[in-house]
Chain A
Amino acid sequence: MARLKFLCDANRCIDCNACVTACKNEHDVPWGINRRRVVTINDGKPGERSVSMACMHCTNAPCAAVCPVDCFHATDDGLVLHSKEICIGCGYCFYACPFGAPQFPQATNFGSRGKMDKCTYCAGGPDADLSEAEYVRYGSNRLAEGKLPLCAEMCSTKALLAGDGEIIAQIYKERVVTRGYGSGAWGWKTAYGETITVT
């Protein structure tokens, strides 16, 4: 069984935001919601690196643990998906998420923030696969069509990798060995409790 993960090779990411745009377009994400974003560390300084970040689909996910209505479920592939029908928009998942992934349509309206929205790994939600309801709530379900997330597919430098954790880790290791350097698997220790060591 695959364990689907994301990996951003920060030595390749050029901060072009194509992944962000592809995601917004693919899922018709409302204005103001960023399922994926690119953060630049050490901006304008030596050692500047850009990292594309979305929900990491954590092992033992913190968002799922703190949700007061238990609206998350983990798929067989290790994805962390949620039900907008059950979500009450309390915002606790955002406080617990290490990566700032959960997003809300309203910043504030007496605390009624609307239903939480986040990266689905292009895998939709609990509604029937490829149904209209699923598209409206969660965007398209590329996994059900046998495809991988569009952000990674769209990435021009192939900095962003999506797929089975072991395979993308292997690709990353080969890159690091070939070019002789790498800045590490961003967020992996926090999300998956393990990191990629290249020896």
Chain B
Amino acid sequence: MDHAHPAPVGHGRLVGRLVLVVAAAFAFGFALVPLYNVLCEATGFNGKTGDKKVIRDGIGVGGLAAASRAPSRIDATRTVTVEFTGTVMPGLPWDMRPLTVSLDLHPGELQQVKYLVRNTSERTIVGQAVPSVTPGQAAQHFEKLDCFCFAQQTFAPGESRELPLTFIVKPELAKDIRNITLSYAFFSVDKPSPTPTTPRESR
């Protein structure tokens, strides 16, 4: 019956090629990670502000870089409402709230607001705030000159402190955006990957 079976040599080649496709697809999945980040930082998708890089290596030079740019003019013809909010992520026993909840400003104006943060636990804890701007299109025009999110924050047991943020909404902001929300998520730095929590805790 041997003649009934097509020569198996042909299979090895095709199988090899298909395995290559699989490997390429696997690599492509990982390549999407840097691609995605580049794309988001360039365009401000997902509310990623340009300062993001600075946060990553934890050195507060973002403000300097921003300040060295030509100062923008103030656009007094329109008013934008900026709202502030924040969340403390599971595993970080802190309280946080914005001292200014909402602010009306003209694009181009330099503004400062503060968040009140308190360590409710009995130990010293380091935290890192990660900002996000909504709508995403506003992110690239929301310039933080100085921000507590540029560096990690250390709080002694029970310590409470006001953390400042200095920012400008650039006049290049699209005319149809009248509301911007800035939100911070505070994470614990001591445990870089959050401990598995029960579903109940994580809600």
**Do A and B actually bind?**
no
Residues of B bordering A, CB below 8 Å: none
Residues of A bordering B, CB below 8 Å: none
